Amino acid sequence: MPRKFFISVCISVFILIAGFAAEIGKGNPNQEKPEFLQIFNGQDLTGWDGDPAFWSVKDGIIIAQVPSNVQVKDHSYLIWQGGKVRDFELHVAVRSTAGNSGIDYRAQPVLADRDGQQLKWTIQGYQSDIAKDWMGSLYNWGKPGAQPGQFVVVAADPPVTKYTGSVVEKQALFDAGYYKPGQWNEFTIIARCSHILHKINGFPVVEFIDNSSATRREGILGLQVHSGKGPFLTEFQDLRLKHFDTKFGQAKYLLDTNDLSGWLFSTPDAKSAWILQNGVLINKTKSNGFIYTKDDYADYILRFQYRSNGDKGSVLLRLTGLDKQEPNCIRITGEGDNFDHIIDVGNPALKVVAFERHPAFKKMPPGYWNECEILLNKGKLLVHVNDLLQIAATNCRRNPGKIAFEAAGSRMEFRNIVLIPILE
C-alpha cells in the first residue's frame, strides 16, 4: 500500500472515530461535567474543616475515630470547604467498624447547642445514615425521612408524609447483601431539585421526594461523627462529586392519587384492563391498549420501576395524534426484563447514537424490581436500566406530548412513576 494512501486512510478512520465519540457526547444531555471532582486529595484534610480530635488521614483514608469511653457531646462534622451543594451526584467509599456516622448534604450550620454554647463543626441537612440496620436511610433532623427500602413523598405545610411505598422490600434488601459489614461499601447520593436517591453498592435503598415548604434545596456537605460515647470508627475514601448544570424542577409523582383519575385510556378495553393496586399500576387482562397522562410534558427525567415476568411492554413519550391509528411518539420497548429498543413514530430523523439493544443487562436479585430512568432533553435521549445505559439517541421529536405505558398484549406492572422536569 502506498505510504500516502495509508496515511490518508488512517486520518479518515481517526476522523470517523472522533466524530462518533462526539456524537455520543452530544447524545448525553446529562454529561455537563463528564469528570467527577475528587474532593479528597488522599493525603491530608486540605479543603476540609473538622475537629482534629476526631478527624485524621492515614494511608489515603479519612478516619473518623473516637476512643473508648470518650464522650462526644454534639455531632461533630468534617465539613467540605469547596462551596455549597445543590443538584449533584456524590460517590463515597465507606468502611464502618464501630459507632454511628452519616453523610449530610444540603445542610445548614448549627451555631449553638441547647445551652447556648457556640458550635463550630455541627450542621443539619439531609443525611445518608451509616449505622447498623439503617445503612443508607434518609434522616431529616426532626422532619419526615425514609427508612431503608422506602419510596416516600413529602408535601404540605407543615411537612407531612403524603405517600410511603417501596423501592424494594426490606427483607429482600438485606437478603441481597446490599451492605457488607466491615468492608468497603460505595454510598451514592443523587439529588435533583426535590428528588433524592440513596444507593449502596448500586442497590437502590431510598427514593425520596420532598415537595414540602421545608424542603432543603442547597447547603453544606459534611461527614459525621455522631454524638455519644466511643468507640467510634468510620473510614472514608474515593470521594467524588459531580454538580449538575441542568436546572431541574420540582419532582412529580404521577400516581399520586388513590385511583387513576389523572390518567386516560386509549380504548375501552384498556380502561378495564389497567388498575392501580397498592401503588402499583397493573395491566391485569393483557390488553393491547395503553394508559396515558392527561398532561403534556416536553423535557424531563422519567423514572419508574417495572416487573414484566418476561413479557413485552413499552413506554411512549411525547405522544400526540391520539386520533390516528398509530399516534406519533417516541416508543421505548422491552421484551423480557430490559427496555432496550427505540423507534420514533413519524420522525425519520431519529438517530440512535449507540447502545441500541445493549448486550449487557444487570440482573436484579430476587425480590427486586427493575429500575428504568429515561432522560429526554430537547432532541436527546438516554435510557438507563438498572444503572446501565441501554439507548442513546439524538434528533428525537421535540413537541410536548403525553406519557403512556403499554403492555403490548402481556401482563406488566409499574410503580414509583416519577417525573423530574428539566427547565433549561
Spatial distance between the Cα atoms of 237 and 246, rounded to a whole number of angstroms: 27
Q: What is the mean pLDDT of each run of 10 residues along the chain (424 residues)?
A: 40 34 39 73 97 97 96 95 98 96 97 87 97 95 94 88 91 91 97 98 96 96 96 97 96 89 91 91 81 97 88 90 88 80 88 64 83 96 91 94 87 94 92
Residue 391 in grid coordinates: 439507548
For residue 174, the SS3 value is: helix
DSSP, residue by residue, 82-138? S--BSSEEEEEEEEEEES-EEEEEEEEE--B-TT--B-SS-EEEEEEEESTT-TT-E
Domains of the chain, CATH where assigned: 37-243 (2.60.120.560), 254-421 (2.60.120.560)
pTM of the prediction?
0.89
Contacts of 219 (CB under 8 A, 6+ apart): 84, 85, 105, 106, 107, 108, 123, 125
- Entry field: residues in the chain: 424
Contacts of 120 (CB under 8 A, 6+ apart): 51
Return the pLDDT at 26.
39
Residue 10 belongs to what H/E stretch? helix 3-26
Do the Cβ atoms of 270 and 287 come closer than 8 Å?
yes
Spatial distance between the Cα atoms of 146 and 167, rounded to a whole number of angstroms: 11
The closest of 328, 296, 333 to 314, measured between CA atoms, is 333
Return the pLDDT at 31.
40
Say which amino acid occupies 378.
K
